[in-house]
Structure formats: C-alpha cells, structure tokens
Amino acid sequence: MSALRRWLAGRAAVVGIPYVWLAVFFLLPFLVVAKISVSEMETTTFKDIVAWKDGAIAFSLNFGNYLLLVQDSLYFSTFVSSLKYAAVTTLLCLTIGYPFAYFMARARATLQPALLMLVMLPFWTSFLLRVYAWKALLTEHGLVAEAIEALGLDRALAALGLVPGAGQLMNTPFSLVLGMTYTYLPFMILPLYSNLAKMDLRLLEAASDLGATAWTAFWKITVPLSRAGIVAGAMLVFIPCVGEYVIPELLGGPQTQMIGRTLWDEFFSNNDWPMACAVAVTMVLLVIVPVAVFSRYQAEVQERRT
C-alpha cells in the first residue's frame, strides 16, 4: 500500500507544482486586475472594494471605467480598429503563408529541412530588431520606400486611404499592417507546414484516380484536411495582434489606434491603474472567444493524437 501512496504522491507533485504555479501567477493576477478595475483610485493607491465602515460592510465598486469604455467613442473605435487590423493581418498572413507552406510541404524531401531552417531563422532572430528594420526601410530614403515610390505604388496606397499622402509611408496603417504581417508570418507558416507535410499524398492520388481535377482536389481534400493548421495559425496571429503594442508603437501612427497602446498609455502615462485594468478586462473578454476556440482545438488535436 505504501508503494501506491508513494506513486500517488509523485503524481500529485507532477500535476500540483505547475498547477499551483499557474494558479498563483496566471489566474490570480486576472482576479487582481478584475478587482482593481472596479476600484476607485486614491492618489497612488486604490481603495479596497470591501471595507468595514461604521459597523457595516460598505462596497465601493466603481464601474465608471467600464461605462466610460462603452460610452466614449474613442475607446470603442480603438477596440474596433484593433480587431480590424488583427483580422486584416491574419488574412494577409493566410494568403501569403498558405501557398508558402504548401509549396514547402510539396518540395523535394531533401530540400524541406533546409527550407524549414530558412523560415525558422527569422523566427529565432529578435522580432524587435526586425520591426526596427522595417522602420529603416520605410522611412524617407529607405530602400523599400524608394522602391514603392519608384513604382508609383504609393499613390495607389494613398488612394486606398492606407497612407495619408504620396511619399509618406511611415507611421501609417500601411506600415502597421506590413509590420504585423511580417512579424507574424512565421507563426502562420509553421503550423500550416507541419500540418500539410504530414498529409498523405496518396489521398490526392486517389482523388485524381477518381476523376477530380487538381484544383478540385485542392479545395475538397487538402484544404479541409489542413483545417487544424489553419485554425492554429489564425489564432496564433489574430489574438496576439489584437493586443500588440511594440509594432504599433514603432510603425504605427496617430491614425492607427490599437488597444495595446491604449492600455500602455493609461498605465504608464496617465497612471490610471483602474482604467488600464478595465481596458485589460475588456480586452480579455474580446479575445476570450478566440482563445477558447484555440484551446478547444488544441485539446481536440491532442486527444486525437493520444
């Protein structure tokens, strides 16, 4: 019996240690944030929600921040534009990344490890530096800026409203989306590649044998089978993009309000902690559906594997 107890104790430790750690450092902070978001700010600290006053419990909940978020059109439009930019970035990553991953997966088997390495290399290089690199490329006289101007594309971009005017490519919606797409592209390619590389090519042969054209086979077989990869990639791009801070700060401008920046400014510039918390809680609520989808998908994939 003691052997059994020892085995159970071991198991309790293996599960318990990370569990407790996460509960304390991941779950508990969320509860703290929720609490602060409904607290009143008192100079540099905040009042307790529940206090003992005059022999009775007094609640001092302040939902004012949330009301402000809902009523103030600026906050609302920031939320909307964050979702919009994240969605556009995800679509672009998918459009560029899916064919990329597909061609990688169909390349010669001896070539694939090298291709994978070439995709991983930027991923391992500091993302901050690569975003900074775009800053250099898009600022006046930058290589890419000059190329775009030379091709006359900047006027097309201006017509689309992506840049305020010809020649001003930096700190615009264009530079922001470009930067985010660039940064998150490997996050889309890798799960897609992993999924597509494992696909059984004989399924396509069977389809062809049964009379499907290559185009039909692609849409009816390859794409549905790669759904797990698409969902994983899309979530890995969309959710972090919604709350991005660094890229909007370096490449975005006054036109591109993102909620990550708002949170940062509320906290660091305005020192309004309850407000920052309210923004954070709202952000969590915004992304909780995609996060749940992602988590559920991961669980399904894991279940199928084990």
Partner 1 sequence: MSAEAFLQIRNVVKDFDGNRAVDNVSIDIAKGEVFALLGSSGCGKTTLLRMLAGFETPTSGTITLEGRDLAGLPPYARPMNMMFQSYALFPHLTVADNIAFGLKRDGLPAAEIAARVEAMLKLVQLGAYAKRKPHQLSGGQQQRVALARSLAKKPHLLLLDEPLGALDKKLREETQMELANIIEDVGVTCVMVTHDQEEAMTMASRIAVMSQGRFLQVGAPAEIYETPTSRFVADFIGNVNLMDGKLVEDEADHVIVDCGDLRHWVGHGITGTLGMAVTVAVRPEKIRIAAEPPEPEAGVRDAGFNRVQGTVKDMAYFGSFTVYHLQLASGRIVKISQGNTERQSATLTWGDSAWASWSPLSQVVLTQ
Partner 2 sequence: MKRAAFFGTAAFNRAFARGWLLFGFAFLYVPIVALVVYSFNDSPVANVWRGFTFKWYAALVNDRELLAGLALSLKVAFSTACASVVLGTLAAFALTRYRRFFGRTLFAGMVAAPLVMPEVIIGLSLLLMLVSLQRATEAWFGVGFPERGMLTIWLGHLLLGMAYATVVVRARLQTLNPQLEEAAMDLGARPWQVFWLVTLPMISQALLSAFLLTFTLSLDDVVLSAFLSGPGATTMPLVIFSRARLGLNPSVNAVATIIITLVAIGVVAASLVLARNERRRAQDMAAANRGPSP
Query: 239: closest CA among 196, 298, 193, 195?
Result: 298
> How many CB atoms neighbour CB 116 within 10 A?
17
Give the nearer residue to partner 2 in terms of CB position, either 162 or 287: 287
| Residues in 166-185 that interact with partner 2 by CB under 8 A | 182, 185
CB of 10 to partner 1, least distance (A): 12
Q: Are 286 and 83 in contact (CB under 8 A)?
A: yes
CB of 71 to partner 2, least distance (A): 23
CB of 8 to partner 1, least distance (A): 12
Give the nearer residue to partner 2 in terms of CB position, either 166 or 284: 284
| Residues in 133-152 that interact with partner 2 by CB under 8 A | 133-137, 139, 141-144
Tell me, residue by residue from 158 to 177, as one string, x for binding to partner 1 by CB under 8 A and - for no binding. Answer: --------------------
Q: Are 237 and 90 in contact (CB under 8 A)?
A: yes
Tell me, residue by residue from 3 to 32, as one string, x for binding to partner 1 by CB under 8 A and - for no binding. Answer: xx--x-------------------------
Backbone angles phi, psi at 174, to 5 degrees: -60, -50
Q: Does 1 bind partner 1 (CB under 8 A)?
A: yes
Q: Among 25-33, 61-69, 72-80, 157-165, which window interacts with partner 2 (CB under 8 A)?
A: 25-33
CB of 41 to partner 1, least distance (A): 53
Give the nearer residue to partner 1 in terms of CB position, either 7 or 30: 7
Tell me, residue by residue from 35 to 64, as one string, x for binding to partner 2 by CB under 8 A and - for no binding. Answer: -x--------x-------------------
Binding site for partner 1 (CB under 8 A): 1, 3-4, 7
